[in-house]
Amino acid sequence: MGAGKSTVGKALAKHLSWEFTDTDHLIEHQTGVSIPVIFEIEGEAGFRRRESTALASFLGCDKQVIATGGGIVLAPENREILKQIGAVVYLSASASELYQRTRLDKNRPLLQGPNPRRKIEELLAARLPLYKECADVVIETGRQPVYQIVQKISHALKLGQKTPDNEQKATGTE
């Protein structure tokens, strides 16, 4: 949460002239309600099921940049789907940086408890091995301008260049 997936994903898609989708926004569009409402009604398990369905809908799609929620890696089947869809970029940021970026955001159900900074640290510690398992490329976001992050991703994945099968995909996880 707060690593810049949506912002960087949109900029990368524009740079490549590809489609961009944020799975959270897709779920909100499909359900007609916000992520916090889904969490309230269905709990985290219900949201995770919806997230898995949304991710699977991208199998077989080309020229897509997909921003996923940070918890999408929790399900082993999602990690497999991520690897099948295309290159996975892990946008890395410190817990402190993530806290600064998300501390005022009320649309993050997992951070609505008494100590959101500690929750970020716990989530990051639990998810980091899963992010690394999935990632083809790790990009530290820090305080870099978005265009520099886009350039690093493009260069690391050789995007915009010809590939043998002419298929290029990129997926971003937190």
- pLDDT per residue as tens digits for the range 115-167: 878 888 988 899 899 999 999 999 988 888 999 999 999 999 887 554 444 34
Residues 103, 56: contact at Cβ < 8 Å?
Answer: no
DSSP codes joined into one string, 34-69: -HHHHHHHHHHHHHHHHHHHHHHTTTT--SEEEE--
Distance CA 124, CA 74 (A): 12
Beta bridge partners of 66: 21, 171
User: Is pLDDT of 31 > 50?
Assistant: yes
Q: Which domains does the chain have, with CATH numbers?
A: 5-173 (3.40.50.300)
pLDDT in tens, 33-87: 999 899 999 999 999 999 999 999 999 999 999 999 888 999 999 999 999 999 9
Query: Model-level pTM?
Result: 0.81
Q: Strand pairing of 137-140 and 64-67?
A: unpaired
Predicted confidence band at 95 (pLDDT cuts at 50, 70, 90)? confident
In 3-state terms, what secondary structure has residue 75?
A: coil
